[in-house]
Amino acid sequence: MDSEKDSHVRQFKWHVTVIGTALGFVLLLALFTRTFENTEALRNLVFLLGSLIFLGALLAMLSRVSGIVETLRDNSAKMAEAAKALEDIRSDLVQINHSTRISDSVKAIAFREDDRQSLREAVFEKLKQRDFESAYEIIDEISIHSGYRTLAAELRQQVDTYRNATEDERIDQAIEHIRTHFRNARWAKASIQIEALIKEHPDSEKARAMRQQLIDNKEERKKILMAAWDDAVQQQDTDRSLAILRELDMYLTPNEGLALQEAARDVFKTKLHNMGVQFAMAISDKQWEAALEVGQQIIRDFPNSRMATEIQGKISVLRQNVELQHA
């Protein structure tokens, strides 16, 4: 904006300079030709000067109007850009809102078992603290919900047993709880609870033996995953191979990871190819919602691929097509 003002000032100064030069020229001409001695000539000079002044004012006004028009044109372009940006934001919000509704529906089913495990953990923490009253309060709250009444009854039985148990029986109950983490491959939680159990019962051989059991169970899980991986690769089951590989990755040593690298690369390449075909077919059939879903998955799972980069550049168009399809 400051540069525009400077431009207008320069134009105005240029006009004044031209008019001043012309006036000076006329005055000099009149002086050397003695124009002032003739009344008629003086009148013509005054008229000429008035015309020049009017012309200068007109030029200045035109310059100012030109600047205003240019400013309006710039503002119009900026408003158009702002409107486009707002439309892009609205499209993103619609997509986010749609995804949120889907995720809320899925969470009620997909994470129900995790909720149950969290409730078990909360009750067990109270047991370790010998806070039986709080444990029973949690169970009473759980029992209000019809979907958790069986769990509430199970936990109440656990609290009753723990409360009336000997110290050795309480260690056994804690060990059984840790083994549920083994079965669900929750190794970090298992490790934390093992160390807490050993700290609480430093003289217990059963408690200390849980460290080795953790190592053995992790190794057994690794063998199961390796066998499942080999089978999935031989069966050319790409989706299953990838699912196994994602879990298997945390068990592999660097050398084992290098040994599987080539096979893993082929699996990822096949998966990307298959998803690319799905994306292209959805575009061809104008199934915009399916195309958007596959495209977003490619961007998420293969962010460094050329295909993901190309789809990223077209994702806004896909979202607009989905909106138009549902309009």
Query: At residue 155, does pLDDT exceed 80?
Result: yes
Alpha-carbon distance of 177 to 112, in angstroms, equals: 19
Q: Provide the pLDDT confidence category of residue 108 given band limits of 50, 70 and 90.
A: very low
Closest CA to 158 of 125, 184, 191: 125
Query: At residue 149, does pLDDT exceed 60?
Result: yes
Q: Do residues 213 and 205 lie in contact, with contact meaning Cβ atoms separated by under 8 Å?
A: no
Which pLDDT belongs to residue 241?
Answer: 84
Q: What is the mean pLDDT of residues 15-27?
A: 55
The answer for residues whose C-beta is within 8 angstroms of residue 292's C-beta and 6 or more apart is 315, 318, 319, 322
**Which amino acid is residue 29, in one-letter code?**
L
Q: Kindly report the average pLDDT of the chain as a whole number.
A: 75
Q: Provide the pLDDT confidence category of residue 213 given band limits of 50, 70 and 90.
A: very high
Q: Do residues 56 and 19 lie in contact, with contact meaning Cβ atoms separated by under 8 Å?
A: yes
Residue 286, SS3 per DSSP: coil
Query: At residue 177, does pLDDT exceed 70?
Result: yes
Alpha-carbon distance of 179 to 324, in angstroms, equals: 53
Alpha-carbon distance of 312 to 296, in angstroms, equals: 8
What DSSP designation does 145 have? S
Number of H helices, E strands in the chain: 13, 0
Query: At residue 200, does pLDDT exceed 50?
Result: yes
CA 164 vs. chain centroid, Å, equals 51
Alpha-carbon distance of 237 to 271, in angstroms, equals: 10
